[in-house]
Chains A and B, each alone.
Chain A
């Protein structure tokens, strides 16, 4: 069984530029999560999807961040414009349903210069 796929693995951009991350969850997993992880800290939830519906986006900075999961499968997270403080690892995870264990992708390491 293939794991959670994320791309790109690394991204370096200048501040004020846009950036997008892509995630393909494990087949059959209805719940998809986007997390932000700063160095030395635990993952912090940005948004959670149940199928194509965003059920928890309370931590998503909506002035610059947006996400979509149009067909309830893969998802895209966008930042526009990026700020220096957005440098972090962006993790995508999926689970069968919200209550169960989460499977994480390798993450995208974003560096904003």
Chain B
């Protein structure tokens, strides 16, 4: 079946360092969404990318959708303790409205 994998599974960084998580799908996606889940919380929508090669920025966060629409990345510049949480990508499947959530990357930021 369709799978969406993320690496790394965990990342510990010092506050101020950069962080990147990578998302890879076994099939071509119609769109990619990113969610953040704080410890003990629920997933919160961050952004949606639709076009091949698309890049979007939200303050310190940069999101990319690969040219082949099978991979994506989230880069955080100069991490802060408020960035702590698990980041999930979710890939949209063609001809359905189904989202397949990735395995997630848990980010820990040390002050």
Footprint of B on A, CB under 8 Å? Answer: 31, 40-45, 48, 56, 91, 93, 97-107
Contact = CB atoms under 8 A, between A and B. Distances in A.
Majority secondary structure, B binding face:
strand
Interface of B: 4, 31, 33, 41-45, 48, 88, 90, 92, 96-99, 101-104, 106
A106 B97 contact: no
Given A41-B104, A42-B90, A56-B98, 13 more contacts: A31-B97, A40-B106, A41-B103, A42-B101, A42-B102, A42-B103, A43-B43, A43-B88, A45-B99, A91-B42, A99-B92, A101-B45, A102-B33
Majority secondary structure, A binding face:
loop
Contacts of B33: 101-102
24 contacts: A31-B97, A40-B104, A42-B88, A42-B90, A42-B101, A42-B102, A42-B103, A48-B97, A56-B98, A91-B42, A91-B43, A98-B97, A98-B98, A99-B31, A99-B92, A99-B97, A101-B33, A102-B33, A102-B43, A102-B99, A103-B45, A104-B43, A104-B44, A105-B42
